[in-house]
Amino acid sequence: MANLGIFKGSTLGSCHIVEEILGEGNFGVVAKCRNTLTNKTAAVKVHKKKLKNAIEEIFILKWLHRHGSDACNIVRWDGYFFDKEKLCISFEHLDQSLHHYQMAQNAKRLSMVELKSVLHQLATALSHLHSIDIIHADLKPVNIMVVDRHQHPIKVKIIDFGLACFASQVQQGECRGTMSYNAPEMSLGVPFNEAIDMWALGVTMAELPPDDMLDCGMYTEDFFYIDDYGRSCWRFMTPHDVLIKSMLNLDPHQRITAREVLEHQLFAPSLPQSLSRHTELDVVHLPAASCEEDKDSNVQLPNRCVAAPSREEDVDFNVQTSNPHSAAPLWHEGILVEVGGILSSPREL
């Protein structure tokens, strides 16, 4: 991006050499960089405007880091630094988005084994986020990264917390996310909660098998004439179909939760099919979806939400995990001050 002075070979900060532009949007640009001090590759997100938005994203990332979120299928945040007036946020570099991975498969669809693995990993990540009061608010295939396309089954991680917010502090009428992945309550401007992430997960999973958008409205006229050449025969719904349908419940209060997805019979086929989704069961963790083995084994998914932190709270970068049930002060509206020293000096983890 010429207006940001970012191109292959340019330097961000004091030690990040740009190797490739990975993507760009309204927020700015994401570049693949090599850290000359560590000789490691990183994905650096450069904000081109609205420093307030960048600070809020860092505040969310600090909260996630404090709760060991990178161990639960969420991108690892490596810190931040300044390049002149531009605020740069550094993340681990991942292979490619789920969207591009699916496109590279051409006509080949993901197998049911792969679909189950991806779904379980995403539900694990969302269960963790929701338990610490975070709504991602922009879940979609381009914000889901494949760690290594050559690994099978593939391992995925959720990225981009630029629109994330605290569930306890959302305001009615807020509009976040991408239109075609937004839950009905978001589009209607009525109160919403973490259930919007489950709707987006349902849309995402519904897209993967057919490799097409889920009734995005582009071909509405197709529904108003008789089709004598049906593409498929009538069949019973599979457990996978039933699970996706439960994510797309129009009533957010009846929509399945991330934790309930992990307890679904799809991941425990030996369970009686008559069991209710509200039945208390132990979560069945699949190998590909479990928290990374090289992380702290004490990091566990808490069973309930915690209070959101204060905007003024100093979240210590050195704290890897904390008691997820500990209460924290409320986020005070309208306060744009130093967030844990963000504007005082660059920090790297």
Summarize the annotated binding site for ATP as residue ranges: 45
Contact 57, 75 (CB under 8 A): no
8 Å CB contact between 250 and 184: yes
Structure tokens at 260: 């309930």
Q: Give, rounded to a whole angstrom, the gap between the first and last alpha carbons of the chain.
A: 27
| φ and ψ of 81, to 5 deg | -160, 170
Q: What share of the chain is helix, strand, coil (3-state, %, to 5)?
A: 30, 15, 55
Single-letter residue type at 292: E
Are the CB atoms for 63 and 315 separated by under 8 Å? yes
Going by their DSSP bridges, the two strands 86-92 and 96-97 should be labelled as unpaired
> Do 117 and 146 form a contact (C-beta atoms < 8 A)?
no
β-sheet bridge partners, residue 347? 80
Q: What residue numbers does the annotated binding site cover?
A: 45
Which residues belong to the active site?
138
SS3 for 281? coil
Written as six digits, the tokens of 180 are 């075609």
- CA 50 from centroid of its chain's CA atoms: 22
Distance CA 245, CA 206 (A): 9
